[in-house]
């Protein structure tokens, strides 16, 4: 699946995403630092929501987020826990052919590239992008 963060297009294997939810009812938490944007309640569970715009903006053009109407939260699993990742938009679900990871030309936090037709998209490395969280 492909999505946009900070004016840059990324992709993740669909299996990495447990759910896609609207970007609403994100509750602020006092005394938290980036990348924590707040928490949401999902099926009775409290799920921390991370804003990776600052980390990933260096990899993209730093474009402004899209309208609130298009923003979503990708719910992903890491180390047996659920986390929400704020994204500006979910672009599309597509079949991607994974290419071998090549260090040259890959943006920071990319695990490799996936291609679709003539287009090449970086695959977000969740472990590296979320490095330091949970602290």
Handedness of CA 60, 64, 65, 67 (dihedral sign): negative
Assess if residue 38 is contained within a domain.
yes
In a domain, 60, yes or no: yes
Q: What percent of the chain has pLDDT over 90?
A: 40
Let me know if residue 65 belongs to a domain: yes
Q: Is 63 a domain residue?
A: yes
pLDDT digits (tens, 9 = 90+) for 64-104: 545 677 899 999 998 889 999 999 999 887 766 676 666 56
Whether the Cβ atoms of residue 109 and residue 128 lie closer than 8 Å to each other: yes
Q: At 12, which CATH number?
A: 2.40.50.180
The strand ranges marked E within the chain are 2-5, 8-11, 17-22, 36-42, 45-50, 72-78, 81-87, 89-92, 97-99, 110-116, 119-124
pLDDT digits (tens, 9 = 90+) for 23-55: 999 999 999 888 899 999 999 999 999 999 888
135 inside domain: no
- Name the residue range of residue 61's domain: 2-129
Whether 58 is in a domain gets the answer yes
In a domain? residue 134: no
Please state the domain count of the chain.
1
Is the residue at 79 inside a domain? yes
Please tell me the predicted confidence (pLDDT) of residue 62: 47
């Amino acid at each position: 699946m492909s999505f946009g963060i900070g004016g840059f297009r990324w992709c993740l294997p669909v299996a990495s995403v447990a759910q896609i939810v609207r970007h609403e009812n994100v509750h602020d938490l006092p005394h938290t630092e980036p990348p924590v944007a707040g928490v949401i309640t999902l099926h009775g569970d409290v799920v921390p929501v991370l804003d990776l715009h600052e980390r990933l903006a260096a990899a993209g053009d730093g474009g402004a987020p899209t309208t609130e109407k298009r923003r979503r939260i990708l719910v992903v699993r890491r180390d047996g826990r659920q986390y929400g990742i704020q994204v500006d938009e979910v672009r599309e679900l597509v079949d991607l052919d994974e290419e071998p990871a090549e260090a040259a030309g890959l943006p920071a936090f990319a695990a490799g590239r996936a291609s679709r037709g003539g287009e090449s998209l970086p695959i977000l490395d969740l472990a590296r992008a979320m490095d330091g969280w949970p602290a």
